[in-house]
C-alpha cells in the first residue's frame, strides 16, 4: 500500500504540487490523470526519491520513505517506468532485465572478478529469473537484440519486464501508453492486468482516457498541482469539476 500525505513540492516560486494526499490500495490499479502541467510526473519524481519534497510525506506499507534516496527504494519494492522509456541502449534486452535483479543480488566487485561459487550461482539465478520476465512480457524472441534497436512499443514492454524483475510491490508507470498504437495499447492493458493479478499495486499516470477508464480501479485527478477528485472511474466521469477542468469550462 502506498500512501501520500499532504505532499507539497515547490520549485522556487512555482508550486508544482500542493497538499496532495491519496492512497493506492494493495492489489488495485490507481490512475492519476489531469491536464498537462497538473503535476503528475512531479508526483512520481517525488515518490521515487528523484526530487525531495518541500513538505508532506510518502509511506510504503506504513514505513516513511520520504527521505530515502531513489536507489534504496527498489529493494523496498517500489519501482517505476518512465514517460520517455529509459532503457540501457547499449545492453541487450536480456541484460536490461538482468539489471532489474540488481537489488536482489549482492555479489561485490571482488567476488565477481574472482568468479566465486556463490556469484556463479547468483548469476545463474539472475539469468533464469530474467528470462521468465521476458516471457511474461512476451519479448523472449528479442532477448539478444540491443535495446536501442527496439521499436518503441517493444521498448515499453522491455521497460515493464525490467521493472517487474525488481519484484515490486508497487509499480509506478508514467504514461505507459504514450506513443503506442491501438493494438499495442490493447496488449499493454492485458499486461497491466496480468501484473495486478500477481498482487502488484499499480499506479499509473495516463492521458489515454479509454485505457484509464477501462483498467483502473481508482482514479485520482490532479489539476494545477492540486487534487480535484478521487474515486472510481464512474464517479470521476460524473464529477462536474473534472468535466469542467477537462473541457475548460469556467
Partner 1 sequence: MRFLNSEILKFILLALFILILPHVAHEGYLLNVLVFVGIHSILALALNLLLGYAGQISLGHAGFFGLGAYISGILTATYSLNPWIAMLIAASVVTLLSFAVGFPVLKLKGHYLAMATLGLGVIIYIVFNEAVDYTGGPSGLSGIPNLSIGTFSFDTDIRNYYLIWTFALIAIALSLNLVHSRIGRALRAIHDSEVAARVMGVNARLMKVQIFALSAGLSAIAGSLYAHTMTFVSPASFGFNFSVELVTMVIIGGLASIYGSLLGAALLTVLPELLRAFQDYDIIVYGLLLIIMTMFMPGGLAKGFPQAASYLRTRFGKRSSPDA
Bridge partners of 79, per DSSP, are 171
Cβ nearer to partner 1, comparing 53 with 107: 107
Query: What are phi and psi for residue 244, nearest 5 degrees?
Result: -65, -45
C-alpha cell at 73: 527504494
**Window 19 to 58, contacts with partner 1 (CB under 8 A):** 48, 50
Looking at the Cβ atoms of 18 and 174, the one nearer to partner 1 is: 174
Please report, as residue ranges, which positions from 107 to 146 form the binding site for partner 1 (by CB under 8 A).
107-109, 112-115, 119, 122-123, 126
Contacting range for partner 1; rule: CB under 8 A; set: 28-36, 75-83, 210-218, 228-236: 75-83
What are the residues facing 146 on neighbouring strands? 92
Half-sphere exposure of 234 (CA within 13 A, CB side): 0
| Shortest spacing between CB 31 and partner 1, in angstroms | 21
Segment lying near partner 1 (by CB under 8 A), choices 63-71, 188-196, 197-205, 220-228: 63-71
Give yes or no for a contact between 204 and 176, defined as CB atoms under 8 angstroms apart.
yes
Using the rule CB under 8 A, which residue among 27, 88, 207, 213 binds partner 1? 88
Among 166, 171, 219, 228, binds partner 1 (CB under 8 A): 166
- Applying CB under 8 A, which of residues 6, 75, 121, 235 lies at the interface with partner 1? 75
Q: How far apart are CA 45 and CA 41, in angstroms?
A: 6
| Helix ranges restricted to H, the chain | 40-47, 70-73, 93-99, 109-113, 117-137, 152-165, 182-197, 209-215, 233-238, 240-247
Segment contacting partner 1 (CB under 8 A): 97-105, 194-202, 208-216, 231-239?
Answer: 97-105
Per-residue cell: 221: 485527478
Locus of grid cell 474515486 = 231
Output 46 or 79, the one with its CB closest to partner 1: 79
Q: Is the CB of 79 or the CB of 195 nearer to partner 1?
A: 79
- The CA radius of gyration of the chain, in Å to the nearest whole number, is 19
In the complex, the residues that contact partner 1 under the rule CB under 8 A are 48, 50, 69-75, 79-80, 82, 86-91, 95, 98-103, 105, 107-109, 112-115, 119, 122-123, 126, 162, 166
Amino acid at each position: 500500500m502506498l500512501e501520500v500525505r499532504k505532499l507539497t513540492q515547490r520549485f522556487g516560486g512555482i508550486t508544482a504540487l500542493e497538499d496532495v494526499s491519496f492512497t493506492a490500495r494493495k492489489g488495485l490499479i490507481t490512475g492519476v490523470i489531469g491536464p498537462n502541467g497538473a503535476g503528475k510526473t512531479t508526483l512520481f519524481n517525488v515518490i521515487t526519491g528523484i526530487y525531495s519534497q518541500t513538505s508532506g510525506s510518502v509511506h510504503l506499507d506504513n514505513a516513511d520513505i520520504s527521505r530515502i534516496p531513489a536507489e534504496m527504494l527498489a529493494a523496498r519494492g517500489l519501482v517505476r517506468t518512465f514517460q520517455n522509456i529509459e532503457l540501457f541502449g547499449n545492453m541487450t534486452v536480456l541484460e536490461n532485465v538482468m539489471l532489474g535483479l540488481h537489488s536482489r543480488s549482492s555479489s561485490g566487485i571482488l567476488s565477481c572478478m574472482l568468479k566465486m561459487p556463490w556469484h556463479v550461482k547468483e548469476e545463474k539465478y539472475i539469468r533464469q529469473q530474467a528470462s521468465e520476465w521476458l516471457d511474461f512480457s512476451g519479448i523472449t524472441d528479442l532477448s539478444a537484440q540491443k535495446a536501442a534497436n527496439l521499436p518503441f512499443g517493444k521498448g515499453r514492454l522491455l521497460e515493464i519486464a525490467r521493472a517487474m524483475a525488481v519484484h515490486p510491490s508497487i509499480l509506478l508507470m508514467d504514461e505507459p501508453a504514450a506513443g503506442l498504437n491501438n493494438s499495442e495499447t490493447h496488449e499493454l492493458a492485458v499486461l497491466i492486468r496480468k501484473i495486478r493479478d500477481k498482487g502488484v499495486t499499480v499506479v499509473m499516470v495516463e492521458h489515454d482516457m479509454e485505457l484509464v477508464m477501462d483498467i483502473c480501479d481508482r482514479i485520482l485527478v490532479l489539476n494545477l498541482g492540486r487534487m480535484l477528485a478521487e474515486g472510481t472511474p464512474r464517479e470521476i466521469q460524473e464529477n462536474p469539476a473534472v468535466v469542467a477542468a477537462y473541457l475548460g469550462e469556467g
